[in-house]
Structure 1
Amino acid sequence: MARTVARVIVDALSELGVRQVFGVVGDALNPVTDAIRTTEDVEWVGCRHEEAAAFAASAQSQLSGTLGVCMGTVGPGSVHLLNGLYDAAKSRTPVLAIAGQVPLAELGSDYFQEVDNDALFSDVAVFRATITSPDQLPQLLETAVRNALGRKGVAVLTVPGDLAATGS
């Protein structure tokens, strides 16, 4: 049975030694939070606001020297990550932000809550990409993590909600 894109992401984070992911449950990233829920060595840390999740990931990274990870869902959820991600960027600490996105078929159509995450995060991130096919995931995730750790900065990986639940 093929693993979902969400499961591939969570398994990769586990292999990288990530033990906590900070965020707010919601919509496009529900498949990822479900995959975390069924994984013993990665804990979901629910936050009241995406900004707090990004600050928590930044603080964890600064204190531990490891990759911090946060998530924000479609539209406002992703926008709200910005303050905490700027903290990580200015502190030169590695953080991976996983941002939700509208369904693939709706990209570029001004769909409800659609935000161009690649443009939104252009100033704060050392790497940013939107996954548009399950086949892209391994390479883009590896590149995002390598850039965050190697360049000591923020990497943003955008995952459309319908793609997160798709088999890889």
Structure 2
Amino acid sequence: MTRTVARVIVDALKELGVSHVFGVVGDALNPLTDAIRTTDEVDWVGCRHEEAAAFAAGAQSQLSGTLGVCMGTVGPGSVHLLNGLYDAAKSRTPVLAICGQVPLAEIGSEYFQEVDNDLL
């Protein structure tokens, strides 16, 4: 069976001791959420809002001493992670934010909901 990029990411998260990923499902993240779904060691925790997901990941990191992980999809989904990520940074607790992105060919074309995640 071939390993997908999503499977490689989830396997790396397992190796880092990540047990939960907090987020809101979105098209750009479907392969990753599916890889999480088929993995026993990592659980997906669906949240109503990306901001709550980032705060949850930060809280888990602070309480457990492990890496917290949150996910936001394209554009506003990624932007909504900012408050929780800022809180984690000020608390000096490690949180990984996985953000969706528009199709590669559309980057820089003012594609619907495109956000420059690197600049952000």
For the aligned pair, the TM-score class normalised by the smaller chain equals over 0.9
How far does residue 87 in structure 1 lie from its aligned partner after superposition?
0.5
Deviations 1:111-145 (A, max 9, x none): 1110000111xxxxxxxxxxxxxxxxxxxxxxxxx
Amino acid at match of 1:103: P
Give the structure 1 partner of residue 91 of structure 2: 91
Quick check: 1:119 aligned with 2:119? yes
Give the structure 1 partner of residue 4 of structure 2: 4
Q: Decide which structure has greater strand share.
A: 1
TM-score, with normalisation over the residues of structure 1?
0.70
Gaps of 5+ in 1: 121-168
Equivalents in 2 of 1:105, 1:8: separation in Å? 23
> Tell me, what secondary structure is at the counterpart of 2:69?
strand
How far does residue 3 in structure 1 lie from its aligned partner after superposition?
1.2
Amino acid at match of 1:108: G
Give the structure 2 partner of residue 47 of structure 1: 47
Deviations 1:69-125 (A, max 9, x none): 0000000100000010011010010000000000111111111110000111xxxxx
Question: Among the aligned pairs, what percent are the same residue?
Answer: 89
> Tell me, what secondary structure is at the counterpart of 1:40?
coil
Equivalents in 1 of 2:58, 2:32: separation in Å? 20
Gaps of 5+ in 2: none
How far does residue 60 in structure 1 lie from its aligned partner after superposition?
0.4
> Tell me, what secondary structure is at the counterpart of 1:89?
helix
Equivalents in 2 of 1:61, 1:69: separation in Å? 9
Equivalents in 2 of 1:15, 1:64: separation in Å? 16
How far does residue 2 in structure 1 lie from its aligned partner after superposition?
2.6
Q: CA RMSD for the aligned pairs? A: 0.7
How far does residue 19 in structure 1 lie from its aligned partner after superposition?
0.4
Count of residue pairs brought into register by the alignment: 120
Give the structure 2 partner of residue 30 of structure 1: 30
Quick check: 1:19 aligned with 2:19? yes
Equivalents in 2 of 1:21, 1:48: separation in Å? 14
Amino acid at match of 2:117: N
